[in-house]
Amino acid sequence: MNRLIFISMCMLLCQGVLSAQPYKNSVGVRAGYSSGIMFRHFTDREVFLEGLALYNMHGFQFTALYGYGFSPYAKKRLYYYGGAGLHAGNWQEEFSLGAAVAVGLEFAFRKAPVIIGLEWKPMINFFRVFDAAIPDLAVTLRVSLD
């Protein structure tokens, strides 16, 4: 609990240093344990909504995430993000609902509208099929639409 308070205080104190992504909307692909397409929209400087249509060995899922992205560096090209949300879809030939968390980092190129990233998105199902997918690592490649 003390770590959480310390991290929160540091983020509040460093708010002037933190910066937002250089794009508002992006679309791309995710390749890894769960692969598919993704769309991200920043509603604020650091807050985003993301929709994913993914397929893995268990089936097909739609995921909606609410997240926060920031860059503590002066160069403003390497960003960290984290988010959480819900997913629904086919899991081992059975409809299921669950929750997902995503954390990752991404690099936005300066002269091209390309963003590459590395993401970890563990998920757990809690309706109909109780199962989890913890090792959901992926590489992402997105294009800025702005």
Burial of 142 (0-12, 13-18, 19+ CB in 10 A): buried
Ranges of each domain in the chain: 19-144
What pLDDT tens digit does each residue of the chain (146 aa) get? 545 444 444 444 444 444 456 789 999 999 999 999 999 999 988 999 999 999 998 889 999 999 999 988 776 789 999 999 999 999 888 999 999 999 999 999 988 999 999 999 999 999 888 888 888 999 999 999 98
pTM for the whole structure: 0.80
Length of the chain: 146
Class of domain 19-144: mainly beta
φ/ψ (deg, to 5) at 67:
-140, 175
